[in-house]
Structure 1
Amino acid sequence: GDPVAGDGVTAVVGTITRDDGTMQVTVNGFPAYYWQNDSAAGDTGGQARGNVWWVFNADGSPQRPAKVAAAENATLGSILVDGAGLTLYIFDNDTEGVSNCSGGCLGAWPPLLTDYGVVALGDITAELGTITRDDGTMQVTVNGFPAYYWQNDSVEGDTDGQGVGNVWWVFGEDGTAIRN
């Protein structure tokens, strides 16, 4: 019969017919697979295999880690960016392990969120981690400080948030604020 989603699952589950005629379960239209070495309910040994296999969240989105890398900026030097090249910022009003950006602040300065940790792309010396925000989401940290985007940065290399309010700064490759 047709697959049935369990309690709390909001993803759309369905099926497709494979080329060999067998039925395969789908989650939000994407084929679902088992990892060969998972043998018990809850096993996730295939998570992140080859950086292409991901566990589904209850809403059907994949549990991928956030990505942080260094990029060269002509004015600021080596800065931190996300996996798409968007600049990451530190907020002077935050403390290590605590985000003090909420309400309207989050509209202008969206946090770099993840549902499965964070990985460094290439060689960066900053220490990457996560904190749990008050709303339960997981935010990426750099040297313990929450990382954010600036709403007006729209393409790779934009650093328009640098120095806004004299409290928002681009992260340097070492995880410190670049204050110029």
Structure 2
Amino acid sequence: MADAGVHPATAADLAEIVRIHRETWRLAYSELLPPEVLDALDADDAWALAVRQGAVLKATEGEWTVGFVVASKAPDEEVAMADGSLPADAATTALVSVLVEPRWGRRGHGTRLVAEAGRKLAEGGATRGIAWVPEADKASRNFYERLGWAGDGTVRTLDAGGRPLREVRVTGELSVRLGD
């Protein structure tokens, strides 16, 4: 494998991040989400803000950007329990979302992304991470399980263009052990 790394994303990376997001979701979620939802993924403004706030890291292999992670403090509504109450560690819980293009998968990029994001988040005082994953997305659920993250029993159903999308919340430690 060519040199692999994790780096802060910059404004110059926006087009590639949006492309990876759009193309990967179109491939992975074409049966879960209607076409109009997938077509609306080109939200450059939201990505630009996340990059400016330092919440996006990119994975590279050689000269290619192959994936990214968005990680920052979890908003209260994302970390709240099913009854709406906040756990004791709500202020130190991070929201993490990782995406690696399938053609670059199974090469450690996702784990490296979460490990580096976890290190940075822990430096800022975060104590654990959460992620929302479509219940039907077994590949992503398996990825988080390999990191040691597990479902916490919280589920939500989103209106995805008139089609319900059920998501499960997974949680785990921010310290991720990289393989040898």
Bucket of the pairwise TM-score, normalised by the shorter protein: under 0.3
Normalised to the residue count of structure 1, the TM-score between the two structures is 0.28
- Give the structure, 1 or 2, with the largest relative contact order (CA under 8 Å, sep 6 or more): 2
Normalised to the residue count of structure 2, the TM-score between the two structures is 0.28
